[in-house]
Amino acid sequence: MIPICLITGFLGSGKTSLLRHLVTSHPQRQLLFLVNDFPPRDIDGARLDLEQDQVVSVAGGSIFCRCKVTDFINALRQIRRLAPPPEALIIEASGMADPRTLPRTLRETMLDQTFVHRQTIAVIDPASFLRLWEAVPAVQAQVAAASTVLINKQDCRSSEEREACEELVRHLNPAATIVRTTHAHHPIDPCEGASPPDLPAEYAACRDPHFTTAQAAIPAPLDWPRLRQALEGLGPLLYRAKGVIPCTDGRLEVDYSDSGWDTRPTQRRDDTLALIGTGEAHEHLERMVIEIERGDYSVTQ
């Protein structure tokens, strides 16, 4: 049996940081990572710096929605044919995923004869969790389906936020193990763990009215400060921005969430910016993509 360790968490909560810790803390183990990115092109998978045969990507929607569950099942069927099999499968669900259908998917496809769902770890940022848990059903579902909840970003959230978050998590999932973390740093054995709850759930609709996504291919070096200012002008309509921005002096890997901006130089050359916003942000994000791709933020403008 191949153990499954499912990682969930809303946009920008720290899932990728947790995956990086898993990669570096188990260098000798044969782990396989299935990365589910909501935008059409996988961005998170490229950030893990793994060999190609260590990562399986399912992009363009949630693996727990009707439109993508078939792709997810096909990926699992391919994984079960690997020889030798991986020691464990680490699944990073998209930030908008409702993970409660995983046990049902395994049972209905008889993949539960190959895979065993060992644990579900939900990573949450107290600020976004407290703001969105009632408005975005997936945020609440991720906590309810978890065996372990990491209340992350302890270094940049107030004690009041942390305590209110922990109280709410205990209300939503009294059985979950709660751990407070910084940079999602928590030791995890992907082959073990407390069994997650098996909750009734239906596959999500193909288009979740709570979210909209857009993705821009960047044709030339950009004036990054000007683009950043334009993105910040979207205010609460923008949940997340991530990708690789070419500038005149090199490339930047950029990541925006409730915690603010994280930018760092990168050697990656996939010049793409993915945007995720509220359901009402569709026209704004599409307009931003048009402006980026026609060169409105180019350094030559």
- pLDDT tens, residue by residue, 32-67: 999 998 766 655 555 666 677 789 989 888 899 888
Q: What is the pLDDT of residues 155-175, one digit of tens each?
A: 888 889 999 999 999 999 999
Nearest-CA neighbor of 62 among 137, 165, 135, 131? 137
CA atoms within 13 A on the CB side of 287: 7
Please give the sequence-ordered ranges of beta strands (E in DSSP) within 9-101, or none if there are none.
31-37, 55-59, 88-92
Supply the pLDDT for residue 49: 65
- Mean pLDDT of all residues in 111-119: 96
pLDDT band (50, 70, 90) for residue 291: very high
Mean pLDDT value across the chain: 90
**What does each C-alpha distance from 115 to 1, 3, 22 come to in angstroms?**
5, 6, 20
**Which letter does DSSP use for residue 65 in this model?**
B
- Mean pLDDT of all residues in 231-245: 93
Rg (CA), the chain: 19
The domains found in the chain, sorted by start residue, are 2-180 (3.40.50.300), 211-293 (3.30.1220.10)
Quote the CA–CA distance of 253 and 262 in Å, as a whole number.
8
- Mean pLDDT of all residues in 258-267: 89
Is 214 in contact with 275 (CB distance < 8 Å)?
Answer: yes
pLDDT band (50, 70, 90) for residue 257: confident
Q: Which pTM value belongs to this model? A: 0.86
Supply the pLDDT for residue 195: 82
- Mean pLDDT of all residues in 258-273: 89
Quote the CA–CA distance of 169 and 21 in Å, as a whole number.
24
Helix, coil or strand: residue 137: helix
**What does each C-alpha distance from 77 to 3, 70, 73, 106, 138 come to in angstroms?**
14, 11, 6, 11, 26
| Residue 178, both tokens | 């709660």
In the chain, what are the helix, strand and coil shares in percent, each to the nearest 5? 35, 30, 40
CB atoms near residue 190 (< 10 Å) = 24
**What does each C-alpha distance from 234 to 86, 215, 229, 293 come to in angstroms?**
43, 16, 9, 18
